[in-house]
Amino acid sequence: MLIDIFFLILGLGCSATTRPLAFNDIGNFDLLVLTAACLLFWVFGWFFKERTITRIEGGLLTLCYIAYVTLLIIAA
């Protein structure tokens, strides 16, 4: 897993040297949703059921993602 993250960062870094990545479209709401999703993953994985994500928790995360995409579509 660590090697996968390394290759992802290496690939993004190499492609960013030829053409810089633009972050103009990322707003505060998107960063807030990203932070909330990271916290939910951490809480579900760390505190409940021996560091695994159950079906109920996975379903809740999926519903949160569907709500986020729906908000993005409505806002567009």
Q: From CA 41, how far away is CA 63, in angstroms rounded? A: 14
User: Per the structure block, which two tokens stand in for 41?
Assistant: 């993953």
How is residue 49 annotated by DSSP?
A: T
Q: Give the global pTM.
A: 0.62
Residue 35 tokens read as 């932070």
Spans of the chain, pLDDT less than 50: none
